[in-house]
Amino acid sequence: MIPVEKAREIILNKVPVLPAERVSLESALGRFLAEDIISALDIPPFDNSAMDGYAVRSEDVKTAGTTLEIASVLPAGGFPVQPVGRGQTVKIMTGAPIPEGADAVVRREDTHEEKGCVRINKVPLRQENIRFRGEDISAGQRVLFAGDRLGPAQIGVLASLRCPFVQAGQRPLVAILATGDEIAELGEEASDRAIISSNSYTLISLVRSLGAVPLYLGIARDQRPDLKARLSRAYRCDLVITSGGVSMGDFDLVREIMKEHGNTLDFWTVDMKPGKPLAFGSLGGIPAIGLPGNPVSTMTSFYQFARPAILKMQGARQILLPRLRARLKDALKNKGDRTHFIRGLLERIDDELVVSPTGPQGSGILTSMARGNCFMVLPKGATCLDQGSMVECEVFDFGYPQ
């Protein structure tokens, strides 16, 4: 067995960063930038009003109740034609340019307008309610970085910079294959003893959630011809992920096929629980990760190895699950023979993050993942953690409490 970190290192050294491609902003959500974005513009491009109100010279409004003449009205999208004179004001809308001479904007709700004049009921501070040129972004500023994930805010920033297209990492095509005579497809006729291949749907969802494109190859029976025939359909893929067929049973054939001519087996078994029987190598020159078949083992191993590989392929900067420390609500006992990833529920109680197990931790109990939002990571050798101890957590559900 090799340590988790070593296994991940081997995998990441073998999977490439895919070439970048030009994508439209409308289709860029969830993609990863392949270039730094340096602004050629100031945002905002001119000083403008942050409020609907009245642009004034602050020196003219020393006391509440001062009355000023309304010299003009300036809508958003308009431009001032004359400066604000002594004792004057310009009625201004949000986003309109600040007229020359004005150095503050009084909110409309702090005024009373009547017969071409306005009474200022609150003394403004100088520069109050003004958004200044370049306040958000200045020309020459590096705004976004290669490897950043493009969410709604990042896409909005790119639109404001007038970027209709961006360079983004290619979305890898990931082949997904379930194996085993005992499993069946959802919806097909099967015996009462058949097990529905939940791993197929879990893995398709996980791959898609990372921005990659899943290619589902179905279920391979525990026979070499069927397994090879299905794997042959992955020849155009960037990564192959299988579930099952990598343990020590007589019919666990994935690992054996990785040993055949033209394929490679770089390692087998990882010093972790759950997820020990994991194989990595290549099939026809394509990197291949053979995940264990038990549902929780499948998901745990995916998060540790397949997830960072898929993110690296897209050029992501952050490829590992975020880590934080939380206080244990309940004591934990552990054999300590391997690094243990215990499914946990992370919560905020008062001003503190606390975590507790999600219930029984068997590798076939998928609800332990569905109820949780993190792994509590117990290092090898840790046999007991008392209630109130601090524990490292890896977050896999981004709805966790901040």
pLDDT digits (tens, 9 = 90+) for 280-305: 999 999 999 999 999 999 999 999 99
- pLDDT bracket for residue 402 (50, 70, 90): low
Longest Cα–Cα distance of the chain, Å, equals 94
pLDDT for position 246: 83
pLDDT at position 194 is 79
Residue carrying the six token digits 């590096």: 142
What CA–CA distance (Å, rounded) separates 229 from 110? Answer: 75
Instruction: Answer yes or no: is pLDDT of 24 > 60.
Output: yes
> What is the rounded average pLDDT of the residues 332-338?
87
Question: How confident is the prediction for the chain on average, in pLDDT?
Answer: 94
Question: What confidence category does residue 265 fall into, taking pLDDT thresholds of 50, 70 and 90?
Answer: very high
Say what the pLDDT of residue 399 is.
62
Q: Which two tokens stand for residue 250?
A: 């007589």
- Which amino acid would we find at residue 383? T
The percent of residues in the chain predicted with pLDDT above 70, rounded, is 98
18/135 Cα distance (integer angstroms): 36
Higher-pLDDT residue of 196, 130: 130
Phi-psi region of 322 (alpha: psi -120 to 50; beta: other; left: phi over 0): beta
- Name every residue whose Cβ is closer than 8 Å to that of residue 284 and which is 6 or more positions away in sequence: 231, 232, 234, 235, 262, 263
Q: Is the pLDDT of residue 147 over 60?
A: yes
State the pLDDT at residue 127.
97
Provide the pLDDT for residue 192: 72
List, for residues 63-105, the tens digit of each pLDDT value: 999 999 999 999 999 999 899 999 999 999 999 999 999 999 9
First to last CA, the chain: 36
pTM of the predicted model, to two decimals? 0.91
Write the pLDDT tens digit of every residue in 221-239.
989 999 999 999 999 999 9
Which domains are seen in the chain, by residue range? 4-18+171-313 (3.40.980.10), 20-43+135-169 (3.90.105.10), 48-131 (2.170.190.11), 323-395 (2.40.340.10)
Is 400's pLDDT higher than 60? no
Q: Which pLDDT value is given to residue 81?
A: 87
When mean pLDDT is compared across 174-178, 245-249, 281-285, 374-378, the lowest value belongs to 245-249
pLDDT of 251 reads 59
Q: Are strands 272-273 and 339-349 parallel, antiparallel or unpaired?
A: parallel
What's the confidence (pLDDT) of residue 181?
87
Looking at residue 193, its pLDDT comes to 75
Q: What is the pLDDT of residues 169-220, one digit of tens each?
A: 999 999 999 999 889 998 777 677 778 899 999 999 999 999 999 999 999 9
pLDDT of residue 187: 79
Task: Please tell me the distance from the alpha carbon of residue 304 to that of residue 206, in angstroms, as a whole number.
Answer: 12
pLDDT at 248 over 70: no
Residue 401 has pLDDT above 70, yes or no: no
